[in-house]
Structure 1
Amino acid sequence: MWTRKLIELTGWKPLGIAVDWAEFEGELGVALPADYKELCEVFGGGVFSDSVYFLGRVEDRAFDLPAQWRVFLSVDRDSTYGDVSAVDPYAIYAPGGKGLVPWGSTEWADAYYWLVDAERPGDWPVLARAEDGAWHRYDMSTSEFLYRVLADAGFSPFGVARHDLGTTFDPASGDPCDGRPG
């Protein structure tokens, strides 16, 4: 339902990307949320409203969820600066544990994650950090959260609709078959 609302909101033509999730889900040790996988198959990865960055499963490493999660995990595990985490008081999810998996951000330094617990593999709450560093938990799907960010000006502090940026999507790949209506 929420993915359909995002398609209508952006005027996007679904790409129907076939994604083999098995390898990455095997690496994570948990299955990704079904609605997120649907979003990736429809949009790929890219930028909504020129300001909301969505990580999908694409060749462009900057918008590829597995590539970005691996970088975050590597940095989080780096002990060069002691036991400090960029996502304090949390940690980046490591297989079999509990932590955050990044899936989006904004140009204003907002960051969107899932709080993943290997002992609760079907539970994927959205944890969002505002530019001021405050954490907010949302017990809703990824697609609902993204829709509210883009369409609900009152979705504080994350609603970008109040900035009147329009509701567009630009794919990461730069592919001429970019899903825009012809």
Structure 2
Amino acid sequence: MIELTGWEPLGISVDWAAIEGELGVPLPADYKELYEVFGGGVFSDSLYFLGRDEGPAFDFLTQWRVDLSVDQDSKFADASAVDPYAIYAPGGKGLVEWGSTEWADEYFWLIDAERPGEYPVLARSNDVGGWHRYDMSTSEFLYRVLADADFQPFGIAQYNLGTTFKPGSGDPDGQPL
């Protein structure tokens, strides 16, 4: 991803133990590496990568807390925005969002507290119904979305958007997105 984007690693320090403590499960190692290099922000002006402490728009935990609150709200009965799945609750099994696109594609991990270390990517596209499962790492999925035009329905390389990255908290000169 560094080579693809020409990005200089940021070396962000994160208290992963606190984050994983709240979730009750470890996060994928490659996601943590991606975040420490890039932070939260936008790839190719269209793919939103959630991080930590990047403001509400790019905050991984804030997104998860909101998703969980809505998913567990009793006024929605048994309906779930991620049907047939549920949003992950500590100790259980469900989805945790880590990315999305401006076209309303959504990227999640399917996390099972009883199977730590397994993080299949589940994705759905606004244009193509249903869920797609990918048994690959977060970084491989992200790379394929950005660089592989044949990675359908999620590949965006066909649109010639470039492979840039803009941090959510601002560019290196401190200017916000």
Paired amino acid for 2:88: Y
Report the alpha carbon displacement of residue 59 of structure 1 after superposing the two structures with TM: 3.2
Q: Is 2:138 the counterpart of 1:142? A: yes
Paired amino acid for 2:169: S
Q: Is 2:68 the counterpart of 1:73? A: yes
CA contact (8 A) 2:40 2:54 kept: no
Q: How do 1:10-21 and structure 2 match up within 5 A? A: 10-21=5-16
Q: How do 1:87-98 and structure 2 match up within 5 A? A: 87-98=82-93
Paired amino acid for 1:164: N
CA contact (8 A) 2:42 2:49 kept: yes
Which of structure 1's runs of 4+ aligned residues deviate more than 2 A?
175-178
The count of corresponding residues between Structure 1 and Structure 2 is 173
Report the alpha carbon displacement of residue 15 of structure 1 after superposing the two structures with TM: 0.3
**What percentage of aligned pairs have identical amino acids?**
77
Alignment-derived partner of residue 152 in structure 1: 148
Alignment-derived partner of residue 25 in structure 2: 30
1:153 and 1:58 map into 2 onto residues whose CA distance is 32
Gaps of 5+ in 1: 1-5
Q: Is 2:9 the counterpart of 1:7? A: no
Report the alpha carbon displacement of residue 133 of structure 1 after superposing the two structures with TM: 3.0
Alignment-derived partner of residue 51 in structure 2: 56
Q: What does the per-residue CA deviation read over 1:35-91, in whole Å, with 9 as the maximum and x for residues that have no partner?
A: 000000000000000100000112312101111100100010112222110000000
Query: Match of 2:155, SS?
Result: coil
Query: CA RMSD of the aligned region, Å?
Result: 1.1
2:170 and 2:112 map into 1 onto residues whose CA distance is 35
Query: Match of 1:116, SS?
Result: strand
Q: How do 1:71-150 and structure 2 match up within 5 A? A: 71-131=66-126, 132-150=128-146
Gaps of 5+ in 2: none
